[in-house]
């Protein structure tokens, strides 16, 4: 059954990628609209997450943000299908603006390692191609359940001579070695880790179990940490890539301070583009002791 699911997903992605970008994006938005109108898990999870994280919203404001989020989620899926199937150069052509590119240029020139940190905001697949055209990073990722989809992602994410590392013991070791030898890596910082691998730190109006991997990776190395995001332009015509140097607190020897700093930077980005965050992700499955489960 998983093999069949994987084949159907890959076929669907290939069909999407045959369309012009604008058409694919509009179809993605239509899928998002259907997610808003029809009962489904993504709509439920999005509403639960936003109601906990932004309790200050009125009911009408919450409904509007859920709607806009699902529309943007649909767009992200369609854009990602194109990014997976198109040539990297064609995908990167959708990037109209870049802010802070000199930070990456300088960090690479220093030769002491670059830890690129991102989150599920905007379109991380387009960002992946942009980053890999400028460096040869190891991209850290959590493999999907379907083998066919995983094989597709590995193949498409390594078109530019870079590598990928699954979130396994072997993958973690390969990322650590790359940083120690002065190479570049890319890490999504917001997937929920195992309890032993994270700390509960503030995220919006709640506490979120957040990975300790990046702060621990920076300890004992001279690597530079940069935050990378690729957000959709207001007219949906393309994207803007934004790079930001990590605050000093991310390098703190105090583990809690470092993890909380990382969470705060991501929160600041999501506050600027709230509908472009993947709120349909079950980001808050694990809760602090004594708190009821959300899902």
pLDDT at 1: 57
Are the C-beta atoms of 210 and 198 separated by less than 8 Å? Answer: yes
Q: Running DSSP on this structure, what letter comes out for residue 121?
A: B
Q: Could you tell me how far CA 182 lies from the centroid of its own chain? A: 23
pLDDT tens, residue by residue, 159-173: 777 888 888 889 899
CA dist 48 and 294 (Å) reads 7
For residue 7, is pLDDT > 70?
A: no
Q: Rounded to whole angstroms, what are the CA distances from 205 to 24, 124, 280?
A: 35, 25, 17
What is the mean pLDDT of the segment spanning 230-242? 97
Between these two residues, 24 and 221, which has the higher pLDDT value?
24
Are the C-beta atoms of 35 and 187 separated by less than 8 Å? Answer: no
Are the C-beta atoms of 145 and 2 separated by less than 8 Å? Answer: yes
pLDDT at 55: 98
CA dist 189 and 258 (Å) reads 12
CA dist 101 and 160 (Å) reads 19
SS3 state of residue 197: helix
pLDDT at 134: 94
Which residue from 166, 202, 160, 156 is spatially nearest to 187, judged by alpha carbons?
166
Q: Rounded to whole angstroms, what are the CA distances from 83 to 142, 196, 289?
A: 18, 34, 41
| Lowest mean per-residue pLDDT among 109-113, 141-145, 266-270 | 141-145
Between these two residues, 247 and 88, which has the higher pLDDT value?
247
Are the C-beta atoms of 146 and 13 separated by less than 8 Å? Answer: no
- Secondary structure of 21-58 in the HEC alphabet? HHHHHHHHHHHHHHHHHCCCHHHHHHHHHHHHHCCCCC
What is the mean pLDDT of the segment spanning 178-191? 95
For residue 5, is pLDDT > 70?
A: no
SS3 state of residue 11: helix
pLDDT tens, residue by residue, 44-83: 999 999 999 999 999 999 999 999 999 999 999 999 888 8
Taking the CA atoms of residue 130, residue 134, residue 136 and residue 142 in that order, the dihedral angle to the nearest 10 degrees is -20
**In the predicted model, what is the mean pLDDT of the chain?**
92
pLDDT at 2: 55
């Amino acid at each position: 059954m998983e093999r069949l699911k994987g084949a159907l997903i890959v076929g669907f992605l290939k069909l999407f990628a045959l369309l012009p970008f604008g058409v694919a994006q509009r179809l993605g938005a239509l899928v998002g609209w259907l997610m808003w109108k029809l009962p489904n898990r993504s709509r439920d999870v999005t509403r639960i997450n936003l109601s906990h994280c932004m309790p200050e919203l009125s009911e009408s404001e919450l409904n509007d943000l859920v709607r806009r989020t699902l529309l943007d989620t649909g767009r992200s899926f369609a854009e990602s299908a194109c990014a997976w199937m198109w040539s990297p150069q064609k995908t990167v052509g959708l990037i109209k603006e870049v802010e802070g590119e000199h930070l990456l240029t300088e960090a690479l020139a220093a030769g002491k390692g670059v830890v690129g940190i991102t989150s599920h905001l905007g379109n991380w697949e387009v960002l992946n191609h942009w980053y890999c055209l400028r460096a040869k990073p190891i991209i850290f990722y959590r493999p999907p359940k379907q083998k066919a989809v995983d094989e597709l992602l590995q193949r498409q994410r390594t078109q530019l001579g870079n590598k990928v590392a699954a979130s396994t013991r072997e993958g973690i070791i390969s990322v650590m070695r790359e940083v120690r030898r002065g190479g570049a890596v890319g890490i999504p910082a917001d997937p929920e880790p195992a309890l032993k691998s994270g700390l509960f730190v503030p995220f919006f109006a709640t506490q979120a179990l957040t990975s300790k991997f990046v702060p621990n990776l920076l300890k004992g190395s001279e690597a530079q940490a940069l935050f990378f995001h690729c957000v959709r332009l207001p007219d949906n015509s393309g994207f803007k890539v934004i790079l930001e140097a990590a605050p000093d607190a991310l390098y703190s020897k105090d583990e809690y301070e470092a993890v909380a700093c990382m969470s705060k930077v991501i929160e600041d980005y999501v506050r600027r583009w709230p509908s472009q965050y993947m709120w349909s992700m079950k980001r808050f499955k694990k809760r602090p002791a004594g708190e009821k489960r959300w899902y």
